[in-house]
Structure 1
Amino acid sequence: MQKKQRRLWVKKCSFTFPNKREKLIPWILLAPSLTGVSVFILIPFADVVRRSFLQAVGGRFVGLENYKNVLENTAFRLAAGNTVRFLAVCLPLLLGLSLLFGILLLQAGKRSSLLKSGFLLPMAVPAGSVVLFWQLFFDKNGILNEALQHFGGKGVDYMNTPKAFGVLVAVYLWKNLGYDMILWLSGLMGIPDSLYEAAKMDGAGGWKCFLHITCPLLLPTAFLTGILSLVNAFKVFREAWMIAGNYPHDSIYMLQNLFNNWFLKLDMQKMTAAAVMLAVVLGCILIGSQKIEEKWGQGM
């Protein structure tokens, strides 16, 4: 009897603790992707970190001098300030509007199929066509100014005034609203209807259901949508560059414009140092967001 129990225990342990071959299978499957990431991302970035401490000509070690020059650079301060302001304005607006439209479309049910297609249309339109439309709309002699002058208003040069910041915000929201709305919809559809029905039977109204049921259960979706929106915010450079060129108005001169101009001038010392600082800041934001999500998830 004891031998039989021992055999069963050994058999059970064999399922609990996989052998060496089974442990190697995931690494073998991941090897091609890890190799590509290492060759094209990790190794080049490690070289960027190394070059950020060196002089571009001669390779002499200069320590933190490159970082000091970047922080004292007027163009870097302008670009960093505009980028932070752009993120502070766009991210809350995008997350709030996409959640609002997601809730409205979910309540609309089957009638919302055409509206969903309309919100997702900007994702399918080529960037060149998008930029051409916005140029025709917001140009000094564009459609919007023609309409204003027709009704007795005064035309505005949007792209050469501080109003260019509002144009860039509008482009970003228009381009990414549908994408974030789909992410919110996936989270909303994962909340059981029975929770809302039970809350309504206890006398809870729509606002209380939203605060005590929808918001807590949407936290994982909120973190994911926020991180993806942050990443997409750094991709708005394509539209900004195509609308206003290498040197746009000071209100929309972003870090991407600065990096592009430094690259054209082959200013490797400033570019590598600024790239490392940007990577560190974004890495801290991502790690901090993940820690907060894990902490709130355990609290729930």
Structure 2
Amino acid sequence: MAISFLFIVPSLIGVVLFFGAPFAVVVFYSLVDNPTKCNFVGTLNFTRVMNNSAFQKAALHTIEFSAIAVPLAVVLSLLLAIVLENKIPGRSAFRSMFLSPMMVPIASIVLIWQVLFHYNGLVNQVLGIFGADKIDWLKSDQAHIVIIALFLWKNLGYNMILFMAALSSVPEDQLEVARLENANAWQTFWYVKLRYLSSTIVFVALMSLINSFKVFREIYLMTGDYPYDSLYILQHYMNNKFRNLDYQDLSAAAILMSVIMVILVAALFTIEERFGKDVENS
């Protein structure tokens, strides 16, 4: 036992130094009035942040984006996996096409999407063929459509591969029983396959949720510190606070964001545990 513990000590030290200690510093900054004076103010920073109109706007836009993009990423990637599960022509090429965004650098992705959705870009030229007016996509109320499309384009391929692996691991005897019971394709999927996909669905939803908070990189590179209103998300708020050296509000916002993430992750694992037990007991 002691020898086993010695093997994990280096990892524990790394976790404490690079994760535990920085998080403790963030918690400390969120509870004081100034990094130099260090006067304890309790929840005053949290109250000020939650009453800040910029934070409220950023939080609302972040929630809206995740609420739309994450379910779409899960459902569409599952549908693609189901389609590719069948022996369709060009299956390998189709799969490679959806995986290609993972190999493209972020800077190249941003450049491509700026060209596509520029006021004089390709998308507006195509829409103009059908008589539609030009749209300044990244400076209009349709800006979130561009970012959701970019998010899906980047993440569908990876999620699709995970679902394809999960579908291939469904017990063949269960599928055989469904065929003997004359179950159609929808019934087989709903009553058999979906039950064995519960853990993968939760994992894909969790990864998509995490990736939805990383979309700030693309938004920032395309629009800068202060994007169009609908693209202003929590990371913009925190980044601007960091640039202004406002560590108290930055730390309080980071803690609030972490609490929300923990609640969402706990909810996902609770759902997965419920369906996982159902599969184990079947």
Q: Does 1:103 align with 2:103?
A: no
Q: Does 1:293 align with 2:272?
A: yes
Q: Does 1:252 align with 2:231?
A: yes
Task: Work out which of the residue numbers 8, 19, 22 in structure 2 matches 1:30.
Answer: 8
Deviation by residue 1:68-87 (Cα, 9 ceiling, x = unmatched): 10001011000000000001
Amino acid paired to 1:70 = V
Q: State the Cα distance separating 1:109 from its structure 2 match.
A: 6.4
Gaps of 5+ in 1: 1-22
C-alpha distance in 1 between matches for 2:91 and 2:179? 25
Question: Using a 3 Å threshold, how does the CA distance of structure 1 residues 293 and 151 change in structure 2: closer, same or farther?
Answer: closer
Q: State the Cα distance separating 1:27 from its structure 2 match.
A: 2.3
TM-score (norm 1): 0.89
C-alpha distance in 2 between matches for 1:28 and 1:247? 49
Task: Work out which of the residue numbers 36, 39, 50 in structure 1 matches 2:28.
Answer: 50
User: In terms of mean alpha carbon deviation, does 200-209 or 277-286 score higher?
Assistant: 277-286
Gaps of 5+ in 2: none
Task: Work out which of the residue numbers 156, 166, 176 in structure 1 matches 2:155.
Answer: 176
Q: State the Cα distance separating 1:47 from its structure 2 match.
A: 1.3
C-alpha distance in 2 between matches for 1:110 and 1:184? 20
Other-structure match for 2:125:
146
Other-structure match for 1:62:
41
Q: Does 1:78 align with 2:48?
A: no
User: In terms of mean alpha carbon deviation, does 206-215 or 48-57 score higher?
Assistant: 48-57
Equivalences for residues 1-300 of structure 1 within 5 A: 23-56=1-34, 57-108=36-87, 111-300=90-279
Question: Alignment partner of 2:119: what SS?
Answer: coil
Amino acid paired to 1:210 = F
C-alpha distance in 2 between matches for 1:75 and 1:185? 41
* Structure exhibiting the larger radius of gyration computed from Cα positions: 1
Q: Is the 2:225–2:240 Cα contact (8 Å) retained in structure 1?
A: yes
C-alpha distance in 2 between matches for 1:127 and 1:139? 18
Deviation by residue 1:227-274 (Cα, 9 ceiling, x = unmatched): 111111111111111111111111111111111111111111100111
C-alpha distance in 1 between matches for 2:221 and 2:76? 26
Report the identity percentage: 39
C-alpha distance in 2 between matches for 1:154 and 1:292? 45
Question: Alignment partner of 2:245: what SS?
Answer: coil
Q: State the Cα distance separating 1:50 from its structure 2 match.
A: 1.3
C-alpha distance in 1 between matches for 2:129 and 2:186? 44
Question: Alignment partner of 2:86: what SS?
Answer: helix
Deviation by residue 1:192-241 (Cα, 9 ceiling, x = unmatched): 23322221111111111011001111001111111111111111111111
C-alpha distance in 1 between matches for 2:82 and 2:5? 42
Question: Using a 3 Å threshold, how does the CA distance of structure 1 residues 183 and 26 change in structure 2: closer, same or farther?
Answer: farther
Amino acid paired to 1:44 = P
Other-structure match for 1:7:
none
TM-score (norm 2): 0.94
Amino acid paired to 1:48 = V
Other-structure match for 1:13:
none
Question: Using a 3 Å threshold, how does the CA distance of structure 1 residues 109 and 30 change in structure 2: closer, same or farther?
Answer: farther
C-alpha distance in 1 between matches for 2:132 and 2:257? 43
Q: State the Cα distance separating 1:110 from its structure 2 match.
A: 8.2
Higher relative contact order (CA 8 A, sep 6+): 2
Deviation by residue 1:107-131 (Cα, 9 ceiling, x = unmatched): 1268411111110000000011100
Q: Is the 2:195–2:275 Cα contact (8 Å) retained in structure 1?
A: no
